[in-house]
Amino acid sequence: MTNPIIVRFRLDYGAFQLAVDLSLPGSGITVLFGHSGSGKTTLLRCIAGLQRAQQGFLEINGNVWQDSERGVFLPTHKRPLGYVFQEANLFPHLTVAGNLQFGLKRIAKQSNTADLQHIVELLGIAHLLKRLPDCLSGGERQRVAIARALALNPQILLMDEPLASLDAKRKHEILPFLSRLHSELAIPVLYVTHSQQEVAQLADTLVIMEDGRVQASGPLAEMQSRLDVPLAQDRDAATVWQATVSEHETDYYLTRVVFADGALSLPLVDAAVGTPLRVQIYARDVSIALEAPTATSILNVLPATVTGLADDHGGRTVVRLQVGNQALLAHITRKSALLLGLHADMAVYVQIKGTSILN
Min dist. Cβ of residue 139 to other proteins (A): 12
Instruction: Return the range that interacts with other proteins (CB under 8 A); candidates 3-11, 25-33, 71-79, 214-222.
Output: 71-79
Q: Which residue from 298, 278, 279 is spatially nearest to 287, judged by alpha carbons?
A: 298
Identity of the residue, 14 or 274, whose beta carbon is nearer to other proteins in the bound complex: 14
Determine if 87 is a binding residue for other proteins (CB under 8 A).
yes
Residue of 77, 109, 235, 313 that binds other proteins (CB under 8 A): 77
- Judge whether 151 and 143 are in contact, CB under 8 Å: no
Residue 157 near other proteins by CB under 8 A: no
Is residue 89 within the footprint of other proteins (CB under 8 A)? Answer: yes
Can you say how many angstroms the Cα of residue 133 is from the centroid of all Cα atoms in its chain?
28
Question: In the set 29, 81, 120, 223, which binds other proteins (CB under 8 A)?
Answer: 81
3-class secondary-structure state, position 114:
helix
| Interface pick for other proteins out of 68, 76, 196, 336 (rule CB under 8 A) | 76
- Of 85, 180, 307, 346, the one binding other proteins by CB under 8 A: 85
State yes or no: residue 56 binds other proteins (CB under 8 A).
no
Q: Which is nearer to other proteins, 107 or 344 (CB)?
A: 107
Contact 165, 87 (CB under 8 A): yes
Nearer to other proteins, 48 or 257 (CB): 48
93 is a contact residue toward other proteins (CB under 8 A)? yes
Write b or e for each residue in 159-172: b if 16 or more Cβ atoms lie within 10 A of its Cβ, otherwise e.
bbbbbeebeeebbe
156 part of the interface to other proteins, by CB under 8 A: no
Among 8, 148, 182, 226, binds other proteins (CB under 8 A): 148
Judged by CB under 8 A, which stretch of 79-87, 189-197, 218-226, 335-343 contacts other proteins? 79-87
Q: Which of residues 11-50 bind other proteins (CB under 8 A)?
A: 48-50
Do 263 and 246 meet the contact criterion of CB atoms below 8 Å apart? yes
Q: Three-state DSSP class for 110?
A: coil
| 164-169, long-range: CB < 8 A, 24+ apart | 164/86, 164/193, 164/194, 164/195, 165/86, 165/87, 165/138, 166/138, 166/139, 166/142, 167/138
Whether 321 contacts 330, CB under 8 Å: yes
Using CB under 8 A as the binding criterion, the count of chain residues that bind other proteins stands at 29
Range in contact with other proteins (rule: CB under 8 A) among 59-67, 87-95, 229-237, 242-250: 87-95
CA nearest neighbour of 243 among 281, 205, 206: 281
The DSSP call for residue 161 is: S
d(CA 90, CA 81): 17
Please give the residues from 175 up to 204 whose contact with other proteins meets the rule CB under 8 A: none
Given a contact cutoff of 8 angstroms between Cβ atoms, the answer to whether 25 and 189 are in contact is no
Q: Site map for other proteins, 95-134, x if CB under 8 A?
A: -------xx--xx-------------------------xx
Q: Which is nearer to other proteins, 139 or 308 (CB)?
A: 139
Interface with other proteins (CB under 8 A), residue from 8, 40, 141, 331: 141
What is the sign of the dihedral through the CA atoms of 88, 93, 96 and 99? negative
Instruction: State yes or no: residue 83 binds other proteins (CB under 8 A).
Output: yes
List Cβ neighbours of 351 (8 Å cut-off, separation of 6 or more): 286, 287, 288, 289, 293, 296, 298, 300, 301
**Binding stretches for other proteins (CB under 8 A):** 48-50, 75-78, 81-83, 85, 87-93, 102-103, 106-107, 133-134, 138, 141, 148-149, 152
